[in-house]
A and B are shown apart, each in its own frame.
Chain A
Amino acid sequence: MSLKEHKYQLLNRYHQIIIFDLEGKLLDSCNSMIDLKQLPNQNVFDQWPVLESVRPALHQLEDLEVPFRLPAVELSLPELKGIFDFEFSIHPEYPEQIVWLLIDQTRIYRYFRRIQQERNMLLLEKEYRETGRSIKVSSALDT
């Protein structure tokens, strides 16, 4: 395997590009992580509540000089689980189309979550000690 192919495979594993119009109609998807064309609803706003609620921002993409980013979105779809960064920009050739870059950052955010979880657990236990409450805090990390 050439270096280029290896790089392509790596990118493919953690990135997906989806194109939809301003009404949310799915136009194209490289389907590297989730096969969107198999989903019953072909409108991304209906399929993804998070997109529905940023719809006004997506309609203003043309006014932005940089892509609109939504970092660390946790997904728990039957077909796709993990923590992803979303990036939206206007299609370079078709301004009525939106390019959605979906980046799987699960490994990185899991690392951050572990650190954050440890910190939060320590703070919780400290506060319960100080207030004299005998409340046990159990962690659901990796269960």
Chain B
Amino acid sequence: MLLLGNSEWLLIIDMELKPEDSAVTLGKTPFGIIGVRMAKTIGVNDGGGRIRNSEGAVNEKEVLWKQAKWVDYSGTVINEKLEGITLFDHPDNPNFPAYFHVRNDGWMGASLTFDEPKIIRPNEPLNLRYGLYIHSDMKSIDAIESQWKQFSQIDVKE
């Protein structure tokens, strides 16, 4: 976890997937490996929020199953107060930029095996890193991009 200014913060999720004895296949599916279910008031349908990605696309129709460095979901949590979460993919992840699975009903996920399955062997663990940027306002694309850049440069070490 990394503290940012104005009570914003960054959650970094590191994973090491390592089978115990035999190879494991993660099948081709848009579901997985990380999901974020947004507050009802932030969802596009329920709350009038907005989905945006790093490529300038907006909402489910444009963002769903598209590759991006990040997807941001912002909306209101209290009246006249916009806040949101950006889901960051990391350049060291094998399928970067990831396909994002998003819905106007209020969720987003980064897919690891959208286009092809992934085999993980016991001696070759799969390391993954994702970030959640918890921020105020509906941040400009540039502001999010700059935050993503910082995230992408954080050393992937213990």
A and B form one complex: no
* B→A interface (CB under 8 Å): none
